[in-house]
Structure 1
Amino acid sequence: MTSCVGNEASLASTGNQKQLPTVEETVQDGNILLKINNIDSGQPQILQANENERLAALDAFLGFLKLQGKETKALRVARGLAEHTRKRLNEGKALVVYNSVNVAEMAEQPVTPERATAWLAKIWSNLEERLEERETGIQDFARQAGLSIYAWPRKTSGAGGAGNNSTYAIEFLKLPSANAHSPEIAPGGVAYVQDLTLKPAFWLKPLIRTGFALKGWRRVAFLVYGFGGLAVIGALFVLLWLALTTQSARIPSGDIATLILFAAVVGWLGFAFLSPFWRLIDLRIIMAPDLLLSLRERGVQLEAAKEPAGDGQHVRVIRLVRYSARCPKCGEAVHLYNGRREFPGRLVGKCDEHPAEHVYSFDRFTKTGSPLR
């Protein structure tokens, strides 16, 4: 059974940008599909892109999702929306918005129609958080593909009541202007995208959730941690040396062994806690210590990036980031690792599927890499 009725629904956009598209409601097997007939082109951020641009933006969005590793329910919802939208465009059909039952089917979620709205409400909240954290990477991925738009899942909240449920769709937003032109990628090279993980360990969230800017008391605390820690470790070693050299005749051999073991533990702890501090100052980006991360995160970097401050100056901001790329040889994800002995002092990109053979350099400024093997 199919029926068509003129209707209007609001399609939510970033901030307070909204528009009222004219839609045509179609009921198929109990599922509501809202065909978009017209969208107000007066909104600067919502673009009337042609079919090829939209398809390319969807491909870029799906490619970015593939880099995220293990797929969560939230990312599966985003992928389902993007794939279904791409399918309609490939078939020459008009774009539509969907209800919660439609989206649950796209995500292959075995949930009854009565529970679909409650299930999706929780999942969508998580999706919005994850996408907000990764919007920079989504934009970079689309920009590297030569696009001026990017795909973005959007929820339009309903007014409530029967027939006024929330709807979901993929919309296409204009890419913000970049500070520099995208650099050329070397033959066989990769283009990295940065996605902010913002999933630090629970004890670190109050400090680094939005970045740790090295100014004011934060700069003092950072320096005290590094230099103060070094002074404490040095003082402990001096005390141990004095104890061993000035009272060696009166200290039992068992106690001497204990003091030496204690010195080794102090040295190891000092290296573990202070080494990242000095390497970050020297290299500006390092692999993040596991102590700083949530258990769910992997392949994360700790970066001290120079960013403009409000007074026209620049300030270093320490934050957790992750750089990834798509391997041009096999299409799998490439993540950064320590170069270790083979590439000392460097981060290198290794393919998840062939890490021993598909290895690439990493340039934080250009976000590109050349083959190393």
Structure 2
Amino acid sequence: MFELKLKVFNALFEILKEDLAVNRAYDCLKLICSASIDALNVKNEELITYSRYQLKLILEGQQSVTSMDSKDLGKWMNDKKLSAYLDRVITKHTKKFEEIGYIPVVKTNETIGGKGNERIYWLDITEYTQVQNEEIQQPDDEFISYERVDPSKVKLSWFYRLIFKNGEIKNRSLRGLILFIIIFGSIIFWALYVFTFALFLVREGQSFTSLDLLFMLCLFGFSYLSYKYWAKPIWDLPEHRVIKAPMTFISLREEHADIEMYRDRDRNQLTRVTRFRGICPICSAEVVLRTGRPDHNLPLVGRCVESPFAHVYSFDRVMMNGYRLK
């Protein structure tokens, strides 16, 4: 049983490292799994348990628990949220656990609550059976799970590679300030350039030629495309939290990528270039984020690459899942 536990927990931890997620259940599960593996590696078979207070203290720091009421801890995390997230992980990676013959489960103590009777959590394993698989795995064409690609694996263009370290940047940093100046400085410079160019062509007493008109049309056309596909998405990022990365951000070898703004555990605002993707439950093709319009009134939706207008799903970046849109 010792070796089986280590094997199952290692498999789970590798999945969690690949399937990055930004939610509390993911952070708590990864923390418990890592600690359990460390204990098993030194031949310690004692249960590695954590209370909700300990989990919040480790993940969010002393300040987050100083004035927190014990009742609020139940809202912050509970066994239902942990088990539900673990079930989704097992559902996505059924074959891996089926090969081992065991699956991880979240265990908790029986307590009536109150001071001194805090609920604790730990990881255990149970035998994989067809019945358990049917309980966990509920095939549903209406539901999709997303995963987030590690930012360091997304190939950036040479210029943005100098600014984004391993695909990430802290907004309130020197690199963040440089990026801000470059983006909005470029917009102001281009606006002044267009104004100056137009003013030069319409000088008093000079007639327009067909070539001048062509230059003007090309200039305003390029300005419109730059605004729509580069300036406006970046302007919308703080509100939308996720946008499609403009083509100038990524290497020519990359087909597409996404830019996400989020907060880390220290409440720092960060921006990273990543890629959200899923597997279409209908045809098993890849699902990627695309613009929701014109058929859906959403900024971004998950579209199947094989049937982008029939197999369309909503996108929830917190829960990393979505539902089929009609």
When the two structures are superposed, what TM-score results if normalisation uses the length of structure 1? 0.48
The answer to whether the aligner puts 1:47 opposite 2:3 as a matched pair is no
Q: 2:240: which partner in 1?
A: 283
Q: 2:277: which partner in 1?
A: 324
Q: 1:189: which partner in 2?
A: 143
Q: 2:213: which partner in 1?
A: 257
Does the CA-based 8 Å contact 1:324-1:335 persist in structure 2?
Answer: yes
**Partner amino acid for 1:188?**
E
CA offset at residue 143 of structure 1?
6.1
Could you tell me which runs of 5 or more consecutive residues in structure 1 were left unpaired when the two chains were aligned: 1-36, 66-139, 153-169, 176-183
CA offset at residue 327 of structure 1?
2.4
CA offset at residue 194 of structure 1?
1.2
**Partner amino acid for 1:205?**
R
Does the CA-based 8 Å contact 1:191-1:326 persist in structure 2?
Answer: yes
2-structure distance, mates of 1:275, 1:363 = 22
Which of 265, 271, 290 is the aligned partner of 1:308?
Answer: 265
Which of 343, 350, 356 is the aligned partner of 2:296?
Answer: 343
Distance 1:227 1:345, change over 3 A: farther
| Counterpart mapping for 1:1-373 below 5 A | 39=3, 47=6, 49=8, 144-146=88-90, 188-196=142-150, 197-210=153-166, 211-245=168-202, 247-254=203-210, 256-257=212-213, 259-261=215-217, 263-264=219-220, 267-268=223-224, 270-271=226-227, 272-309=229-266, 314-373=267-326
2-structure distance, mates of 1:266, 1:299 = 21
2-structure distance, mates of 1:303, 1:275 = 15
2-structure distance, mates of 1:283, 1:250 = 47
CA offset at residue 150 of structure 1?
10
CA offset at residue 250 of structure 1?
2.6
Matched residue of 1:199: which SS?
coil
Q: Greater Rg, structure 1 or structure 2? A: 1
CA offset at residue 146 of structure 1?
4.7
Distance 1:270 1:307, change over 3 A: same
Deviations 1:258-305 (A, max 9, x none): 552453255146424423321323422111223322344334211122
Does the CA-based 8 Å contact 1:301-1:322 persist in structure 2?
Answer: yes
Aligned-residue CA RMSD in angstroms? 4.4
Higher strand content, 1 or 2: 1
Matched residue of 1:242: which SS?
helix
Deviations 1:177-201 (A, max 9, x none): xxxxxxx999821121112233223
Could you tell me which runs of 5 or more consecutive residues in structure 2 were left unpaired when the two chains were aligned: 20-83, 106-137
1-structure distance, mates of 2:254, 2:87 = 26
CA offset at residue 334 of structure 1?
2.0
Distance 1:188 1:212, change over 3 A: same
Identity %, equivalent residues: 22
Count of residue pairs the alignment pairs up: 220
Distance 1:356 1:253, change over 3 A: closer
Higher helix content, 1 or 2: 2
Deviations 1:91-128 (A, max 9, x none): xxxxxxxxxxxxxxxxxxxxxxxxxxxxxxxxxxxxxx
Does the CA-based 8 Å contact 1:150-1:174 persist in structure 2?
Answer: no
Distance 1:151 1:291, change over 3 A: farther
Deviations 1:69-91 (A, max 9, x none): xxxxxxxxxxxxxxxxxxxxxxx
Does the CA-based 8 Å contact 2:149-2:275 persist in structure 1?
Answer: yes
